[in-house]
Amino acid sequence: MEPIRETYILLPPGTDFLMYLVLVPFALVFVFGVVYRLRRLGVRSVGELLNSVFRGVGYMARYGLLQRKVVSEHLAGVMHLLIYTGIIALFIGTTLVFIDHDILRVLGLRLLRGDFYLGFEFVLDVMGVAFLLGLALLIYRRFIRHEPRLRNRLEYSMALAGLLFIGLSGYVLEAIRLTVEPRPWSGYSFVGKAVSTAFFVNLPTEPLTLLYRGIWWSHAIVAFAMVAVLPYSPLGHIFSTLLNIAVNAPRQLPLGKMKTPFRIDELDPSADIKLGFRSLSELGWMEKLGLDACTDCGRCEAACPAHAAGTPLSPRDIMQKLRRQLWRSDGLDEDVFASGLIDEEEVWACTTCSACIEACPVLIRPMDYILEMRRALTLEGKLDKRKTAMLTNLSRYGNPYGFDQSEKQKFFEELAEMGVQTLEEKPDAEYVYWIGCASIYDARGREIAKSVAKILLKAGVSFAVLGVEETCTGDPARRIGEEGRFQELALQNIETLKQKSVKKIIVNCPHCFNTLKKEYRDFGLELEVKHHSQVIGELLRTGRLKLTKPLSEKITLHDSCYIGRINDVFEEPRFVIQSANKDGAYVEMSRSGRKSFCCGAGGSTYWYEVRRTDRESVIRLREAVETGASILAVECPYCMQMFADAARVTGVDQSLKIKDIAEIVAESI
């Protein structure tokens, strides 16, 4: 006998027709759910949807089909990959059976025959095992290991039970079939053969046949039911996440860049300014799709420093609450704050470190929703005294500290004594060194700026400073949601830089770096912006800077969020530290690089109080101490201030020195 697929074996004649008859209502429920879901999201036409998906096919392939970010977590990644590939393989197998039996067989042709069929049976058995192993890992993580971030809701358990039943009953059906109708090639269905040998050999044929029919129909109905409820159940993420990746990934702004909703220099004075959102009806369908795609996996929550510090914020909860609101009958027009759905404290706790974005396996950006809600609150004046004072300081003094011009003048006079010239004095300078507020007005920050200046002077770099003309870039205002104040400062700085024909800038503040490099582009300014770690690295690599007194201490580095994760500067700071510490040792913290943990100063949270049980800076400092390092190297003046305070609070300021990488290099010259 030639090996061939025998569909509907052990079933009465007409079962195929009856099965499709039973399938119809389930299919209608599925189609209705898909249509309802798309309409609820606000998709205007199928053409618009398909056009958006087409633009993101590459992203969908990398991050959806190939699971590029899902597998970044080992256990969770393996689990998801096994379940995901198992489902795809079983779907492909079912489709091939349909084509073989319902189309080709009618035409006198067969696909599932001979060696191809034997390979088909073997591969399906292998993928079925993978599928069940994935489900076993899921059960282990949820019900045995009890991973805190995994929630055990009824709908999740029901979906798991359905998948488990489909996987196990499939092998039982295969085992009974091979027992009642044995074939010479049954060994290719090795799992079914093993189950048959273990449980069904020597049992009467007739009861087995009846058992087969009962399990076959229950298997089919459960499968139909799970497909029907896909648009309504957690398993719907199979489609919504793929759509989100395809639709939203191509249009996402670079990390660290906020949306520019208007330009005040082009704004009609009579225009009604709309910022952020307070109800979901104010979101476009693509933003709603991002909410719908959230799988409640908890990776963003696990990565969030604000959540770890015990603030009210969980990016996962924000997304899940908004998602549930999306599907409530009256949810679209309800004010998320007035209704109590979102607490304002949740929104203000975000440090804008982008860890949630980095962690999300399906490219959702919780931080973007949080910042847009901030904008809505700020537009309505929902600010406490400290936030208001910071914004007032920016308007009145051009810095968030509230110091007057004399303080700035005093510091630039100190730099002048070192030999640093202003751009007025040195108009042909190649670089402008942008100091930044934290290094102008904070005593500890000034030491960083002086170290940078010492290095640049020693290496003979052609640079100058703006002097008293330098003012805040506006980053604190934009992150707090005050777009108008940000743009006023941005346009003032841009006018100054254009008038002086500035093309290249060196900065030691990551927030200034990000704003000058990415956010000023929307206002017509293109600059070559370099962080001081990059410049120092170049000077060391080219031999323009020689280090004659390298340190010999163990050093660990804290990656600043706005330099590392947000702007992809990882190699140069490490190269600089290792170059200045040849006789010592460099050691990484448990969380470093893209997975670095925020110091807690970003998102303007430095300027106001957030209710928390611990401090992000203290948590991070503990990680630094655990490395056994004697120096914690930083690359941001705000990180410096946060860790210095944390060191005093925890009492480790005597055993762990906190230095900027510029200070480490300056000591080694």
Do 427 and 535 have their domain in common? yes
Residue 178 contacts residue 192 (beta carbons within 8 Å)? yes
The distance from CA 376 to its chain's CA centroid, rounded to whole angstroms, is 23
Q: Are residues 342 and 451 in the same domain?
A: no
**H or E segment to which residue 221 belongs:** helix 205-228
Specify whether the CB–CB gap between 472 and 398 falls below 8 A: yes
Let me know if residue 590 belongs to a domain. yes
Q: Where are the alpha helices (DSSP H) in 508-559?
A: 510-514, 532-542
Lowest mean pLDDT segment, chosen from 285-289, 417-421, 578-582: 578-582
In this prediction, residue 610 has a pLDDT band, given cuts at 50, 70 and 90, of: very high
Q: How far is CA 198 from the centre of its chain?
A: 47
Q: Does any domain span residue 322?
A: yes
CATH assignment at residue 308? 1.10.1060.10
**Residues 349 and 427 occupy one common structural domain:** no
CA distances from residue 588 to 101, 557, 574, 603 in whole angstroms, order as listed: 59, 7, 10, 25
- Whether residue 269 is predicted with pLDDT greater than 90 in this model: the reply is no
Give residue 20's pLDDT: 94
pLDDT in tens, 393-402: 999 999 999 9
Give the end of a domain, one of 358, 382, 406: 382
Among candidate residues 382, 414, 429, the one where a domain is terminated:
382
Q: 52: pLDDT confidence band, cut at 50, 70 and 90?
A: very high
- Kind and range of the H or E run holding 555: strand 554-557
Per-residue CA distances from 525 to 252, 347, 470, 530 (Å): 21, 31, 16, 15
Q: Which residues, 6+ apart, have CB-to-CB distance to 520 below 8 Å?
A: 473, 490, 493, 494, 527
Mean pLDDT of the region 242-256: 94
Residue-level pLDDT at 54? 94
* Residue 552 and residue 645 share a domain: yes
| Confidence check: pLDDT of 583 > 90 | no
Residue 575: what pLDDT? 96
Q: Which residues contact 122 (CB under 8 A, 6 or more apart)?
A: 188, 189, 190
Does residue 106 share a domain with residue 192?
yes
Residues 378 and 396 in one domain: no
Please check whether residue 247 lies inside any domain of the structure.
no
Residue 286: pLDDT over 80:
yes
Query: Is pLDDT of 294 > 90?
Result: yes
Mean pLDDT (the chain, rounded):
95
Which domain does 94 fall in, by range?
70-241
- Whether residue 297 sits in one domain with residue 215: no
pLDDT in tens, 450-484: 999 999 999 999 999 999 999 999 999 999 999 99
Q: How many Cα atoms occupy the beta-carbon half-sphere of 544 within 13 Å?
A: 14
Task: Please tell me the pTM assigned to this model.
Answer: 0.93
**What pLDDT does 28 receive?**
97
pLDDT band at 274 (very low <50, low <70, confident <90, very high): confident
Q: In this structure, are 358 and 425 located in the same domain?
A: no
**228-242, 337-351, 414-428, 564-578: lowest mean pLDDT where?**
228-242
Which of the listed residues 341, 366, 382 is the one where a domain comes to its end?
A: 382
The encoded tokens of residue 99 equal: 């084509």
Backbone φ and ψ for 394, nearest 5 degrees, come out as -60, -40
Q: Is residue 178 part of a domain?
A: yes
pLDDT value of residue 237 = 84
Is residue 313 within 8 Å of 367, Cβ to Cβ? Answer: no
Binning pLDDT at 50, 70 and 90, where does residue 233 land? confident
Q: What is the CA radius of gyration of the chain?
A: 31
Residue 111 has pLDDT above 80, yes or no: yes
Residue 137 and residue 87 share a domain = yes
Q: Give me the pLDDT at residue 9, please.
A: 93
- For position 100, what pLDDT does the model report? 95
> How many other C-beta atoms can be found within 10 angstroms of the C-beta atom of residue 66?
12
Q: Is the domain of 237 the same as that of 317? A: no
Do 376 and 403 fall within a single domain?
Answer: no
* pLDDT, position 235: 83
Strand pairing class (463-464; 431-434)? parallel
In a domain, 513, yes or no: yes
| Bridge partners (DSSP) listed for residue 257 | none
- Count how many domains the chain has: 3
| DSSP code per residue over 389-448 | HHHHHHHHHSSTT---HHHHHHHHHHHHHHTPPBTTT-TT-SEEEE--HHHHHSHHHHHH
Strands 585-586 and 631-634: unpaired
For residue 152, the model assigns a pLDDT of 85
Q: Which has the minimum average pLDDT: 380-394, 490-504, 622-636, 649-663?
A: 649-663
Does residue 23 sit within a domain?
Answer: no
Are residues 327 and 293 part of one domain? yes
- Please report the pLDDT score of residue 44 as a whole number: 85
Give the residue-averaged pLDDT of 434-453: 97
Residue with tokens 């497909």: 227
Residue 367, domain member (yes or no)? yes
Bridging pattern class, strands 657-660 and 585-586: unpaired
Asked whether residue 323 is domain-assigned, the answer is: yes
